[in-house]
Amino acid sequence: MKLIIAGISTEIGKTVVSAIIVEALQADYWKPVQSGALEDSDTETVRNLISNPRSHFHPEAYRLREPLSPHAAAEIDGVTIDMKKLIVPQTDNHLVVELAGGLLVPLNNRDLNIDWVQRSGLPVVLVSRNYLGSINHTLLSIEACRTREIPVLGIVFNGPEVVASESVILGISGLYCLGRVAQERVLTKAIIGQYAEKLLPQLNSMRA
């Protein structure tokens, strides 16, 4: 199984969900573009949160210094993100790919994240978080994928549960809730492992 972790906005919890799915599947991990936090990157965060010995961490195609939209961070660094260089790593293992930002975040002055997702041919797991406006952001993200015929495997809700919001999102979209991650004060390998164990049956059902 190879899949992309996308979020409805920034700071949604994509990296935590990535770590959970990586641990559940003992999958490889790849972040195509890292913007900012080069000493404490998302790759290193996931590496430090998993326990299994099988996962391999593929190097980013672009490592940009500033914590900005990829197109802006790349411009500051004097580079242009080239979609042709965002090549999905070859592996015999499962693979989890984490996007930098939301689906319509620009990679350069022409291409968006979703353009690359469409080109990759990989399905999406969408990470949502409940806040004012999240229903709109979640349904817009789903609609954008469906317009481009990008499969959405389901939604993972991160943070405090809001039944009124989640039920309407699932009802209108027809998607499944693959899992829910609570607002954890501290994240440890043990906690990630617990979530991974809960999520694994859902992932296995998608593979069947």
Q: What is the pLDDT of residues 21-78, one digit of tens each?
A: 999 999 999 999 999 888 889 999 999 999 999 999 999 999 999 999 999 999 999 9
pTM beyond 0.85: the answer is yes
Average pLDDT, the chain: 95
Pairing label, strands 28-30, 33-35: unpaired
Asked whether the beta carbons of 141 and 133 are under 8 A apart, the reply is no
What domains are defined for the chain? 2-207 (3.40.50.300)
Banded model confidence at residue 206, pLDDT cuts 50, 70, 90: confident
Distance between alpha carbon 147 and the CA centroid of its chain, in Å?
A: 19
Q: Say if residue 208's pLDDT is above 70.
A: no
Distance CA 12, CA 181 (A): 11
Classify residue 136 by burial, with Cβ atoms within 10 Å: 0-12, 13-18, 19+.
exposed
Q: Which residues are catalytic?
A: 31
Task: Read off the pLDDT of residues 147-191 as tens digits, 9 standing for 90 and up.
Answer: 999 999 999 999 999 999 999 999 999 999 999 999 888 999 999
The pLDDT value given to residue 32: 97
Q: Does pLDDT of 207 surpass 70? A: no
